[in-house]
Amino acid sequence: MNHSKNDWTAHAFRVAACVAMLAAAAASSSGRIFGRPLQAETGPATRPAAAAQTEVGATRRGADGSIIADSSAIPVAVFGFGGPVPVEVVVTDGRVSRTSPKLPNDESPTFFGMLEEAGFWRAWDGLSTEAAATARVDAVAGATFSSLAAIANVRAAISAISAEGRDAAAAPPPAENATPQISASSAAALAVLVLAAVAPFFVRGRRWRVAQMALDVAVLGLWSGTFLSSARLLGWASNGIPRDLAGLSIALLMLAMAFLYPIFGRAGHYCAHVCPFGAAQELAAMLPFRKLKLGPATVRRLTAFRRVLWAALMLSSWCGLWTGWTELEPFAAFAWRAAPPLAIALALASLVSSAFVPRAWCRFACPTGTLFKIAGAGTASEDRIEKPLPPEK
């Protein structure tokens, strides 16, 4: 497909505009852009007397002689769903006595509640620092990225405590030492993404389409939580994209399919071939129910509603009025134990409606998809994400 220099320039401008809009929302909500604070961060003027007597780097001494490590002072490369997942670890007499999230945090409170319910924070209790540093703690299904980030932060904090025990002046270890090996879920997610990036150019057919959508839902959605959403995009705009090899590769692949593929005539490629919630809706549309036929005027009104909704939500983020809407997109329902009830309700309603109006959420409500449409506007296949995507024959 031939593209003029003006096409490339216009597309680059649209993508830059999308990045600028996300950066503005991130600056308003978190005070950071791509990991850089807009104002110098200052610590509290004083610490509680029982909390610390001496402090070295990421660690401090408690009044009872315990060593307390704060992983937010350590550059950990592994990010969670919303960004860094700092934790606090307390070691008493050479053994872990407490592990807990460090607040404030970019993750939702329900996520930490899910980890608590799964026994995640208690997994290190009573272990020596040597055993805790290598303990095998499983990621929590449905929140793999965030729980892997929590594991990396705990290990980084424990390593800092070990360094404190050996040498009070020792600096925390390099971040890569705290980075876990690529998990099975991350490897599977990366494989599915590579398949989605390449296979649709060469493979057609209903069986392949159904298989691909099943992989999207099972691997990208339910198992690994690998997808783009407003919450994740704003998290990356606030904190930067992940720096570990698996997280970086996954992020770049998804962003390329969402924002760069349109210039090659593949607008809507991410929505059609990667998004697990879009796949779930399309599978629901295959159920043998009579489909509702929407007239052109109705489609125009509903499309206008989606655009107005997106503008209102982004305006609320830019003005600092309400950023919690990003947690309510139905993507969050894949981590159902940590998802807000309203997000689960929206997901269920969207799936039911898609059985009668294919991809109802994608076409008439999705804020994340609207951003992708802005980036792909004017490309040859823009209509692929404005209309339902029937199974390929």
pLDDT (mean) for 87-98: 90
Average pLDDT for residues 58-85, to the nearest whole number?
81
Q: Are 98 and 118 in contact (CB under 8 A)?
A: no
- Identify the pLDDT of residue 102: 78
In angstroms, the Cα distances linking 124 to 89, 134, 158, 237, 298 are 10, 10, 10, 32, 56
DSSP 331-370: GGGGGTTTS-HHHHHHHHHHHHHHTTSTTHHHHHT-HHHH
Each residue's pLDDT tens digit, 40-71: 654 443 344 333 334 445 888 888 888 999 88
Three-state DSSP class for residue 213: helix
Tens digit of each residue's pLDDT (9 = 90 or more) over 350-377: 999 999 999 999 999 999 999 999 998 7
CB contact set of 389 (below 8 Å; sequence gap of 6+)? 268, 272, 282, 358, 359
pLDDT > 90 in the chain, percent: 45
- The domain segmentation of the chain, as residue ranges, is 5-33+183-385, 54-178
Using left for φ > 0, alpha for ψ between -120 and 50, and beta otherwise, residue 201 falls in alpha
At 44 the pLDDT is 42
* Residue pLDDT, tens place only, 246-291: 889 999 999 999 999 998 888 899 999 999 999 999 999 999 999 9
Tell me what the mean pLDDT of segment 69-88 comes to: 79
Structure tokens at 389: 């995507």
- Residue 327 is predicted with a pLDDT of 87
> Bridge-partner residues for 68, per DSSP?
60, 90
Q: 87 φ, ψ to 5°?
A: -135, 165
| Number of residues in the chain | 393
